Structure 1
Amino acid sequence: MSGWDEGPVYYSDQAAVLGDGGGDNTNSAAATASRDSVRSLFKEFIRGFKPNNVFRYRESLLQNPRSLQIDMEDLDGFNSDLTAFIRSSPADYLPLFESAAEEVLVSLRSKVPGETGEMEEPDVLPVQILLTSKEDHVSMRYLGAQYISKLVKISGITISASRIKAKSIRLKLVCKNCKNVKEVPCRPGLGGAIIPRSCDHVPQPGEEPCPLDPWIVIPDESKYVDLQTLKLQENPEDVPTGELPRNILLSVDRSLVQSIVPGTRLTVMGIYSTFQPSTSQRGAVAIRQSYIRVVGIEETNEASSRGAGSFTSEEQAETHIKRRMGIGNHISERKLIDELTRRGMNESIVRRALIIMHQRDEIEYKREGRTIFRKA
């Protein structure tokens, strides 16, 4: 019994717990893993994953620093615990994934000279993580309370798209009494911000205390992102006989905005969430409307869903160009190419499709070739 009073300190290496890749201890690992260890594993995956001796995600991040598309099968092969974390709590771990991608991007870029002549770290915009998977999709009819806050995959046809809105991600507040400034984060998707009812300023002797609800929003100093809502309807082949097709609301933001037009068949990965509609009845505070906060979109080719198709890449690009541009409309060539590349198309294929359409006299270049006008 000697040495019982030595007071040893026991610890566990969280990275080692997560690094074994075993799926049996997912619950225990999720309970003990720290945010820093999970972020370091995400950084290791982005920086070091190289199938066929190619750094797939590192090169993709350098080519497109605005978004990074992650294959869930690749992440599962690297570490199954990370995949389990994202599937069970995507709202908690996707921000860690995005912050890890930003840190990797900063480390990959070289320093630039600053205003004083010294070398400084380059400014990096936030990186959006987009998820894709080969798993089977879930029917809209089976989405229930058990899927709330979980990662789901559904498919359907887009029937409507809203205008772009400015969604605040951080609100800057000022107290109208003591002029105290405070920043409040907003919930992603269609969620709002929880504004405190009282000011945290401690009044001095003889000073008037701040009243209830003293905060005023400063719109010009708050931070925003682009937001758009879509409505997704069941595929006709998925609707049971005698039933009406169901639909669900989708929320897309940042790089996914204006990437989908109505009538497009989609396969969507997102977080099944709820929000309080503004037109809710009085007293129905416990009733919330469900929607999906999209974290990944794949456009389904109609030819592949109905049979073998023989369309070339240029013909598919022409179809997207004609959907984007109506007859008699004009658009900047750079803007059109950027929108189509955000949908996953190759820029060289889009340019070849524009050349073919120009040779057929379907489009015309104006303003020194910087603007495209569709003639037919």
Structure 2
Amino acid sequence: MPTSPGHGGGSASDASQLRLSSVPLSGTEAWALSSAGPSGRRPAAVTPHGTSSAVVSATPARLSSGRRELGEAPFGARAPAAAASAASLTPRVLHMPSESELSVIAGGARGPSSDEGAAPTRVLWGTDLSVDEVHARLLAFLREYRDTEDTTVALYTRALYRLHETESYTLNVDLQHLRAHDADLYKKAVRYPSDVINLFDLAVNNLYTEMFPGTAADERPQRLLVRVYHLGACHSLRTLEPAQLDQLASLQGMVIRSSHVIPDLVDAFYRCVHCQHTTHVPVEHGRIQEPPSCARCGLKSAYQLVHNRCGFSDKQVVRLQEAPEHVPQGETPASITLVTYEDMVDAVKPGDRIEVTGIYRAAPIRLNPRMRNVRSVYRTYLDVVHIKHSDRRRLTDVPDATDVDALPPAETAEAPAASSSAATEYANPPESNPLPELTASMQAHIRQLAAQPHIYERLVASLAPSIWGMEDVKRGVLLQLFGGTKKDFSEAGGTRFRSEINVLLVGDPGVSKSQLLGYVHRIAPRGIYTSGRGSSAVGLTAYVTRDPDTREMVLESGALVLSDRGICCIDEFDKMSEQSRTIMHEAMEQQTISIAKAGIIATLNARTAVLAAANPVESRYNPRLSVIDNIQMPPTLLSRFDLIYLVLDKPSADEDRRLARHIVSLFYDREDGHDSDANDAVVVGGSDESLPLMDLPTLAAYISYAREHVHPRLSAAASERLISGYLDMRRLGSAGASFGGQKTITATPRQLEALVRLSEAHAKARLSETVELADVDEALRLMRVATQQAATDPVTGTIDMDLLATGRSAASRARITELARSVWELLQARDGLGPFRKHALLHELRQQAAAAAAGSGSGDTSDISEQDFDDALRRLQDEERVRLQAGGSSIVKVRG
């Protein structure tokens, strides 16, 4: 039986051979309708283009995010060969026949022996799914399904009312609701998503028009769009197999790269250069079939593509990588390409943890872009249908049906009413905000917790309860999780002050530093856990690589960029390379990372809090040395930490007994099948023994709510207390911390800024919008027990912040000055300019110092170290008094 050409409508006798279809974007396919006769044989494919058929517009994103290529059959079925040349309709438009046309089609489909009274059977192309049946069942689901909150009105009917009020066009449909209502229809939606989702679009638009008769389909600027999600169990990137092609899949992972917005051609516009005749040619199978000759004048190869009249859609390619906690031992993370369209573009950014629902696809790889030959191995990707941010999935124990999307910005201040909360969720499009809104009941529970006395102590006791002791360390880390209040004065000509708190843990091995970092990484909203030894400079910031698909140079984000607005946990911080330490300076203070390489110049945001752990160079912390000498870290980097804790293993019979009892109890709990972190009756010791602990989801939800909704400001009394506290810290340097006539610096403006951040974080822990005196007092106490302890001079026992700023205390600088004077006097006593042997001078100086100590009877047997002697020589060299020769082993006087 002959088929009609690709253009023009078929004759009346061809009505029995009619097949309707939509032509999608590249890499997708729309669903098709087919009329089957009583014999069940599928007629040949003919594409109608008559203007009398009704036109139902489809939203761009729907056709581009979940349609098979035309002519492909759904998995498990094979379309006839005639389907390959069967459609050339305009993309993004579904041509649906009217009821009268359907009756003509059905009548023409009947053979001579058919029953004239039998109703026509319409099935989806390549399947045995009845179009009318699936459409009716979808309408029944939308009209009848009710949730537990409000059983008076159907859930998705309320969602459509919400769409009408907000003039939105995206309806999120929970597939578990469909499964509970109609399990067979759920299976069909998973197996044939391209077809069922299109029918879902049609059913929603029909129901919307029925509910609001005054808003005709042609009067709305955009058709309603259905996005399905919550497939059930998420698939693993490693378990996807060819049997799942063209089926729905749900994946979890972390976004590592997103491309720029790509214009995707969907409709080509041609104009004849001779007679100016124009025509539209849709993109089929990713190709444009240019008309060989003009339809009006018949001139061959006369059409010219007019780019500014062509139709384009937004497209973005995203790379999704397996989350670090899901990677099997000994293997590298798996990754997959995601393709997003239209309103899904720019919905995610690198570092986001997402749960994505889409259609698993396979595309051929050409050996040469100019040739049609393809490889036998296909490249797989996922056409995205729905994106759900799961950054807080580790933080909250909220059911999937209630944390899909955040509320609009205007409604985040108040919890919606119970009757509309669920409908609001399904009526909102996916947001780029990775903080899903907590339910009204959970928000009320959090506020009740904040109103209880000793909430701060309870939060501290609930943080890493399996780690015994370290109360002050936990307090500082808890305040780091809350963070300060963001301040940006750049519009007023000022600068932006960071609100993130940086914490460094320095101490002996085996004191649970790494375990605390791992716990914070689990609870942090966005964060990367890395090691200083295994991290390079580009791995921490960003690196340039070549995209395997486009072969273009692209910028890959490193750990600090991926941790933007989160916490970056760095273990073995002291073992970082010198180049990596240099990059950390900008990231920790300016919170940006500047890149200029391979023709790419960019400034990336690294607004992350750094939680680092470092071990002493001698394995054990030496109390006779400063922190700088113990960990061999540049003082300019060390000064960027707000809190520096010395976590030392000090022998104590009572403390050791309590620690041993705690560790053994953890093993007993595991044998009994209990998790100590989730046990509300766990006793962590100290003053918090009687306080009940929060479980991990509640603690994480509390922190999430405080970070998102609480923004405390300093009160007048708190400001005065901060000023007086800062002045008291400064006075310590002039009262009794002077050596050799020099005053020590016991506080710097950086410490004052840190005090402000800590005070604001403590107010957040109480869910208070005002910083009070108690918050400032706790910040001052933490500063004394943490940073000032690390800044104590081991020689004089006094606090000297110069240790962190310059690496040397005031006493050390005075000692170097005195030693330089003694060296110069010794050189002046010798004849000539030299050279003089360095070791001989050092030996003579040590003899003089020992004789002076014996003569004074002071008993001072301190020796002159070689390091101090080198520093004294460098000072004389800077003053141009001496010059070093022979690699520094000989000294020559510059002037006598």
TM-score (norm 1): 0.65
For 1:250, the aligned partner's letter is L
**Would the alpha carbon gap of residues 163 and 6 (structure 1) be closer, same or farther in structure 2, given more than 3 Å must change?**
closer
> Which residue number corresponds to residue 150 of structure 1?
247
Contact preservation (8 Å) 2:190, 2:247: yes
Q: Quote the Cα distance in structure 1 between the aligned partners of 2:387 and 2:437.
A: 17
Matched, 1:285 2:369: no
**Would the alpha carbon gap of residues 46 and 279 (structure 1) be closer, same or farther in structure 2, given more than 3 Å must change?**
farther
Contact preservation (8 Å) 2:346, 2:432: no
Q: Quote the Cα distance in structure 2 between the aligned partners of 1:13 and 1:344.
A: 50
Q: Quote the Cα distance in structure 2 between the aligned partners of 1:120 and 1:128.
A: 13
1:197-244 Cα distance to aligned partner (Å, 9 max, x none): 53583x7xxx6x3425x5444443443332211100112233232222
Q: Quote the Cα distance in structure 2 between the aligned partners of 1:159 and 1:233.
A: 6
Choose the corresponding residue for 1:300, options 375, 385, 390. Answer: 390
Choose the corresponding residue for 1:123, options 186, 208, 220. Answer: 220
Structure with the bigger percentage of strand: 1
- State the secondary structure of the residue aligned to 1:53: coil
Q: Quote the Cα distance in structure 1 between the aligned partners of 2:383 and 2:312.
A: 17
- State the secondary structure of the residue aligned to 2:312: strand
* Identity rate, percent: 19
1:155 to partner: Cα distance: 1.4
Q: Quote the Cα distance in structure 1 between the aligned partners of 2:156 and 2:134.
A: 18
1:364 to partner: Cα distance: 7.2
For 2:487, the aligned partner's letter is E
> Which residue number corresponds to residue 189 of structure 2?
86
Which aligned pairs between 1:225-374 and structure 2 lie closer than 5 A?
A: 225-276=313-364, 280=368, 284-286=373-375, 287-302=377-392, 304=394, 340=431, 345=436, 360=485, 362=487
Contact preservation (8 Å) 1:111, 1:122: no
Which structure 1 residue ranges, 5 or more long, are not aligned?
19-26, 113-118, 321-336, 368-372
**Would the alpha carbon gap of residues 135 and 43 (structure 1) be closer, same or farther in structure 2, given more than 3 Å must change?**
same
Choose the corresponding residue for 2:158, options 48, 51, 59. Answer: 59
Matched, 1:195 2:292: no
Q: Quote the Cα distance in structure 1 between the aligned partners of 2:331 and 2:259.
A: 27
1:23-77 Cα distance to aligned partner (Å, 9 max, x none): xxxx99951513x553444344334433323332233234343211111122233
- State the secondary structure of the residue aligned to 1:155: strand
Q: Quote the Cα distance in structure 1 between the aligned partners of 2:366 and 2:156.
A: 41
- State the secondary structure of the residue aligned to 1:243: coil
> Which residue number corresponds to residue 105 of structure 1?
208
Contact preservation (8 Å) 2:268, 2:305: yes
Matched, 1:172 2:172: no
1:308-363 Cα distance to aligned partner (Å, 9 max, x none): 79xxx9xx98xx9xxxxxxxxxxxxxxxx9984787855999xx9xxxx9x94635
> Which residue number corresponds to residue 329 of structure 1?
none
Choose the corresponding residue for 2:145, options 49, 61, 64. Answer: 49
Matched, 1:9 2:116: yes
1:123-155 Cα distance to aligned partner (Å, 9 max, x none): 241333211125212222222322221111121
1:293 to partner: Cα distance: 0.5
Structure with the bigger percentage of helix: 2
Give the 4+ runs in structure 1 shifted more than 6 A: 341-344, 364-367
**Would the alpha carbon gap of residues 240 and 222 (structure 1) be closer, same or farther in structure 2, given more than 3 Å must change?**
same
**Would the alpha carbon gap of residues 53 and 255 (structure 1) be closer, same or farther in structure 2, given more than 3 Å must change?**
farther
For 2:233, the aligned partner's letter is D
> Which residue number corresponds to residue 116 of structure 1?
none
**Would the alpha carbon gap of residues 6 and 186 (structure 1) be closer, same or farther in structure 2, given more than 3 Å must change?**
closer
- State the secondary structure of the residue aligned to 2:196: helix
For 2:319, the aligned partner's letter is K
| More displaced stretch, 276-285 vs 258-267 | 276-285
**Would the alpha carbon gap of residues 234 and 8 (structure 1) be closer, same or farther in structure 2, given more than 3 Å must change?**
closer
**Would the alpha carbon gap of residues 222 and 53 (structure 1) be closer, same or farther in structure 2, given more than 3 Å must change?**
farther
1:251 to partner: Cα distance: 0.8
Q: Quote the Cα distance in structure 1 between the aligned partners of 2:253 and 2:121.
A: 41
1:249 to partner: Cα distance: 0.6
Contact preservation (8 Å) 1:164, 1:228: yes
Contact preservation (8 Å) 1:178, 1:210: no
Contact preservation (8 Å) 1:67, 1:255: no
**Would the alpha carbon gap of residues 259 and 33 (structure 1) be closer, same or farther in structure 2, given more than 3 Å must change?**
same
**Would the alpha carbon gap of residues 292 and 102 (structure 1) be closer, same or farther in structure 2, given more than 3 Å must change?**
same
> Which residue number corresponds to residue 138 of structure 1?
235
Q: CA RMSD in A?
A: 4.6
Contact preservation (8 Å) 1:109, 1:122: no
For 2:203, the aligned partner's letter is A
> Which residue number corresponds to residue 38 of structure 1?
134
Larger radius of gyration: 2
Choose the corresponding residue for 1:95, options 195, 198, 205. Answer: 198
- State the secondary structure of the residue aligned to 1:159: strand
Contact preservation (8 Å) 2:357, 2:384: yes
